[in-house]
Amino acid sequence: MGYFSRFAVPHPSPAIYASMIAIAVTVFLIIAGITYFKKWIYLWDGWITTVDHKKIGIMYLISALLMLFRGGVDALMMRAQLAVPDNKLLDSQHYNEVFSTHGVIMVLFMAMPYIMGLMNFVVPLQIGARDVAFPRLNAVSFWLFFMGAMLFNLSFVIGGSPDAGWSSYFPLAGNEFSPHVGTNYYMISIQIAGIGTLMTGINFLTTILKMRAPGMTLMRMPMFTWASLTTCIIIIFAFPVLTIALLMGTMDRLFATKFFTITDGGMDMLWANLFWVWGHPEVYILILPAFGLFSEIIPTFSRRNIYGYTSMVASMVLISFYSFLVWTHHFFTMGQTAYVNSIFSITTMIIAIPTGIKIFNWLFTMWRGRIRFTVPMLYCLAFIPLFTIGGVTGVMLAMSAADYQYHNTMFLVAHFHNVIIPGVVFAVLGASTYYWPKMFGFVLNEKIGKLAFWFLVIGFCLAFFPMYITGLDGQARRMYTYSEDTGFGPWNMVATIGAVCMAISFVLIVYMIYYSIRNAKKEAVSDPWDARNLEWATHTPVPEYNFAIIPQVNSREAFWDAKYKGHPLFKGDYEKIHMPNNSGVPFLMSLFFFALGFGLVFSMWYLAICGLIGVFICMAHRSFEQDHGRYISVEEIKETEAKYGGTHK
Amino acid sequence: MKTKWALFVVHFLIAFVLIGCDKIAVLDPKGPQAQTQANVIWLSIGIMSVIVVVVCAILVFVLVKYRDSKLPKDYEPPYIEGNRVVETIIVIVPILIVAFFSVVTIITNNKVEATPQAYKGQDPLIVYASSSNWKWHFSYPEENIETVNYLYIPTNRPLEFKLYSFGPITSFWIPQLGGQKYAMSDMVTTLHLAADEAGEMMGRNANFSGVGFAENSFYVEAMSQDDFDDWVTEVKETAEPLTEEKFQQLLKPGHLGQLTFTGTHLPFSPAPEGEHAGHNHGKDGPKADTNGNQEHDVHEHDTSTS
């Protein structure tokens, strides 16, 4: 038994045992279900080996929704624990594990894949391309993210979850103060997912720069494509820093190096710096695509072109640049001089300027428009005031003298949820409702969607506004309990009620999907919203090759012009289309990564070495493989197009 | 109907500003540094509320006026590229606000990072505040006494806290006296505070440091210099001396009540500053503290002239 004792959760509770059983039962049911319905081949051919950006996008979205559920349950547990003073629902260690995994999952395994999924689905369609530049690499990216997420979630039932916060500051995260394997999971699973993200960045940068339809100059690109482009640039510059920081952290934990230790010349502040040199740009990696999505939805439902296109683009480029100059504001209190703090205060506040420009541009886009209150639009409309509040509290936090009072408090927690939820979560929820018909061929139920929206918005306000107050009253973040005489009790109860409303909203969203699958009219409309950009010029469901003929672009809104100004979008005749072949290697390689990661977490070197060799074999296989893709013949294209009622001209 | 939530948000903000008046710790300062910070917070809340109100007002106006159901059937929105004047305004106004805040932030940063203006020239009380899992040790080197988990301070006199940690990074925070600063194991950070009036206050570690973090707080009492001197005399008469052995026991992870000792741990377990700093490599000369003040003694290794 000695060998297996390493897998025991160091601090078990009924909840963990229940989860073990639940996970075992779910896995069994999934396997049994797939076998019973004979879906293994469908799953392997249709999804696991796919290199199609649309399918990969959808897989990202499904994973993100699952992770939203996991992270949301974590959030509910925290709120339940904090609802009343001196609560004994969770003990300190559990609370610490719960907030650590909540943070990591929500940022890295929910928000990131959600954004990546939408990028995957939308960007190639939006630029009139047939796939991304490196389809196989795209599959590798997805599977690496997926395996990273699975490895991270495994920590809950095998070996114990990380407990040093999502920022995992050393020396707290070092072996001395966090001896169980939780932080190993953190280092290694984020590393694996992070490599995937870095590849996505390179892939989409290349795609956007090299594969746009003829006539689509940089300054004619749709806003979401611009947002994705700037995001990719941030990813490419920021993620290598994370890679190295995690590598150093892993070395410290597994091989007793001294990068971040408090003895022998290690430097704990170095981790904080490296983490936030990645961590702050990471926030913009999330928010810029969200801005892009709002910039798609608002013009469509205002029936107007985006106001101030040039300034929108310029502000995104500026934000991506400034995002690298502000990391020190995460630790104004680490003892820098007033001079250093002043510089970083000012750079931080400067970011508010381009962001403010965008807010006003969205408002002016609606001005003189024709506003329809659909579900995606409602998310945008709630985003504007709520994100403004989040943004201005950000400026308040940026003033370092005052930050000494906000730092590490619930005020800060309120602030970043106030930008991430109305910013990122509203964007992805709105965008998934918006793009749903393109993905699945039917519109989601509007009534349930609106109900879910109201629960989410009201729940959000109730959950997070009270935290501004308790934060200023001295409630530090990450405290698993507080005493009655602090007076935090009533406010925390309000916040918990808000969290419950948000949970109801999530349930309603799931119900909306279920209800719509059963009841919605499957009309397969290609353009249900009367939208403006090229992704809507495709058929629904989108054929494998996206566009039978590559569209001709002559303005910023080529599809709109084609519909209303007689612009000929598809010129010429069908030609045979070159497409990449499916491959199981990306999946296999990610499995090897998983084995490598699991081996490293538990210092099981044989497993780790086998995993690593497997990874290299997969790479070698790719290097020597002769795969030149395949062609879709003109006849086949004609047949498919006829089925959809012909190519619109 | 759709404007309801916008109004809700505005109402909430107003309520938020009104509630925040007396009871909230940070906005109920008892010392000059906390006062400076509370002023900055109020100023920024004020200006920021105006921005939020303006955005909400434009939003409500647009939504009311240009909603689909209210427009004539044949209304077709125009194509508008942008407007130089409007775009200049939405650039210039934020720049002005940020410029104003930049000036405010530079002035206040220098204020909170120095001895409070009102008490300049007075001899500060130096307290070495160090954290260990999950306690605070307060050493008064001049008085030669040490306490655990409680802090007595004289009013109307500058206080200089020298912060460091015997474990994970912690953050020393007394909201009513002023903002927090990190305590770390390999260097000493300095926090300048002062208390204007006598009274009891809450102090705590604000930076997550493991299992015992929530209870890692301490009791603070500000009293007149005379009372403070009386207390010091009393401690010297009644308290046990702090031995190295005893101190090693105190450092063990766990929680302790309030303890008092004569003597400090500094002679046998010196703070990580000067030659004891974690990154003192012997040639870099004295480290500037957070103020930029070169107040440490030039130590014996310092022979280079750079």
A634 touches chain B (CB under 8 A): no
Same domain, B96 and B165: no
Alpha carbon distance, N-terminus to C-terminus of chain A: 70
Distance from CA of B230 to the nearest CA of A (A): 30
Looking at residue B2, its pLDDT comes to: 53
- Asked whether residue B302 is assigned to any structural domain, the reply reads no
Helices A410-419, A375-398: axis angle to 10 degrees equals 140
3-state secondary structure B177-188: CEEEEEECCCCC
**Spatial separation of the C-alpha atoms in residues A98 and B16, rounded to whole Å:** 30
- Asked whether residue B229 is assigned to any structural domain, the reply reads yes
B268 touches chain A (CB under 8 A): no
Here the tokens at position A6 are 């390493």
Here the tokens at position B133 are 């899992």
**Spatial separation of the C-alpha atoms in residues B10 and A484, rounded to whole Å:** 30
Give residue B304's pLDDT band: very low, low, confident or very high (50, 70, 90): very low
B235: left (phi over 0), alpha (psi -120 to 50) or beta: alpha
Same domain, B89 and B206: no
B202 touches chain A (CB under 8 A): yes
Same domain, B150 and B271: yes
- Measured at the CA of B94, the angle between CA B92 and CA B95, to 5 degrees, comes to 60
Per the CB < 8 A criterion, the answer to whether A163 and A100 are in contact is yes
Per the CB < 8 A criterion, the answer to whether A118 and A435 are in contact is yes
Q: Which residue has 């300095």 as its token pair?
A: B190
Question: Which CATH number does the domain housing residue B266 bear?
Answer: 2.60.40.420
Q: Do B168 and A169 touch (CB under 8 A)?
A: yes
Same domain, B107 and B134: no
- Asked whether residue B163 is assigned to any structural domain, the reply reads yes
**Spatial separation of the C-alpha atoms in residues A137 and A145, rounded to whole Å:** 12
Per the CB < 8 A criterion, the answer to whether A389 and B52 are in contact is yes
B37 touches chain A (CB under 8 A): yes
A61: left (phi over 0), alpha (psi -120 to 50) or beta: alpha
**Spatial separation of the C-alpha atoms in residues A493 and A480, rounded to whole Å:** 14
- Asked whether residue B305 is assigned to any structural domain, the reply reads no
Same domain, B130 and B197: yes
* DSSP letter, residue A543: P
Percent of chain B surpassing pLDDT 90: 73
Optimal mutation site among A176, A183, A333, A365, interface B, most CBs of chain B within 10 A: A333
The CA distances from residue A108 to A112, A189, A282, in Å, are 5, 10, 9
DSSP result, A276-302: HHHHHHHHHHHHHHHHHHHHHHHHHHH
Q: Do B62 and A363 touch (CB under 8 A)?
A: yes
**Domain topology for A4-583+627-643:** Cytochrome C Oxidase; Chain A (1.20.210)
Same domain, B14 and B140: no
Count the domains in chain B.
Answer: 2
Per the CB < 8 A criterion, the answer to whether B37 and A396 are in contact is no
Q: Which residues of A touch B58 (CB under 8 A)?
A: 360, 363
Nearest to B182 among A335, A367, A469 (CB): A335
Q: Beginning with the edge strand found earlier in the chain, give each strand of the sheet holding B217-223 in spatial order.
A: B150-154, B217-223, B199-205, B170-174, B178-183
In one-letter notation, the amino acid at residue B267 is P
Residue B255 C-beta-side C-alpha neighbours within 13 Å: 10
Distance from CA of B134 to the nearest CA of A (A): 12
- Asked whether residue B296 is assigned to any structural domain, the reply reads no
- Reply yes or no: is the peptide bond before residue B124 cis, omega within 30 of 0: no
- Asked whether residue B107 is assigned to any structural domain, the reply reads yes
B130 touches chain A (CB under 8 A): no
Q: In terms of Cα–Cα distance, which of A179, A94, A107, A202 is closest to A148?
A: A107
A384 touches chain B (CB under 8 A): yes
Residue of A nearest to B27 (CA): A472
- Reply yes or no: is the peptide bond before residue A278 cis, omega within 30 of 0: no
Complex prediction ipTM: 0.91
pLDDT tens track for B16-41: 555 544 579 999 999 999 999 999 99
Same domain, B102 and B148: no
Residue B94's CB: how many other CB atoms inside 10 A?
22
* DSSP letter, residue B298: P
The CA distances from residue B180 to A512, A639, B201, in Å, are 47, 70, 14
Same domain, B91 and B149: no
- Asked whether residue B162 is assigned to any structural domain, the reply reads yes
Q: Do A373 and B9 touch (CB under 8 A)?
A: no
Per the CB < 8 A criterion, the answer to whether B134 and B213 are in contact is yes
Q: In terms of Cα–Cα distance, which of A360, A378, A240, A349 is closest to A312?
A: A360
- DSSP-assigned beta bridge partners for residue B146: B139, B261
Per the CB < 8 A criterion, the answer to whether A66 and A149 are in contact is no
Helices A112-126, A182-210: axis angle to 10 degrees equals 10
Here the tokens at position A629 are 């893709």
Per the CB < 8 A criterion, the answer to whether A342 and A400 are in contact is yes
Domain that holds residue B99: 4-72+80-112
- DSSP-assigned beta bridge partners for residue B203: B218
* DSSP letter, residue A10: S
* Beta pairing, strands B159-165 & B125-132: parallel
Domain stop point among B88, B112, B136: B112
CB interface of B with A, residues 134-163, below 8 Å: none
Does residue B191 carry a pLDDT above 50? yes
A335 touches chain B (CB under 8 A): yes
- Asked whether residue B33 is assigned to any structural domain, the reply reads yes
- DSSP-assigned beta bridge partners for residue A632: A577
SS3 label, residue B128: strand
**Spatial separation of the C-alpha atoms in residues B93 and B46, rounded to whole Å:** 16
Q: Which residue has 């047949």 as its token pair?
A: A639
Looking at residue B13, its pLDDT comes to: 58
**Spatial separation of the C-alpha atoms in residues B177 and B34, rounded to whole Å:** 5
The CA distances from residue B159 to A333, B140, B178, B219, in Å, are 18, 11, 11, 16
What dihedral angle (degrees, nearest 10) is formed by the CA atoms of A154, A155, A156, A157?
A: 70
SS3 label, residue A627: coil
Per the CB < 8 A criterion, the answer to whether A71 and A152 are in contact is no
Per the CB < 8 A criterion, the answer to whether A248 and A257 are in contact is yes
Here the tokens at position A127 are 């630029």
Residues of chain A below pLDDT 50? 649
pLDDT tens track for B77-92: 999 888 889 889 999 9
Looking at residue B294, its pLDDT comes to: 42
Same domain, B127 and B268: yes
A265 touches chain B (CB under 8 A): yes
Nearest to B75 among A335, A370, A479 (CB): A370
Here the tokens at position B14 are 């107003």
A87 touches chain B (CB under 8 A): no
Q: Do A334 and B184 touch (CB under 8 A)?
A: yes
Tell me, rounded to whole angstroms, the distance of Cα B102 from its chain centroid: 19
Same domain, B92 and B191: no
B167 touches chain A (CB under 8 A): yes
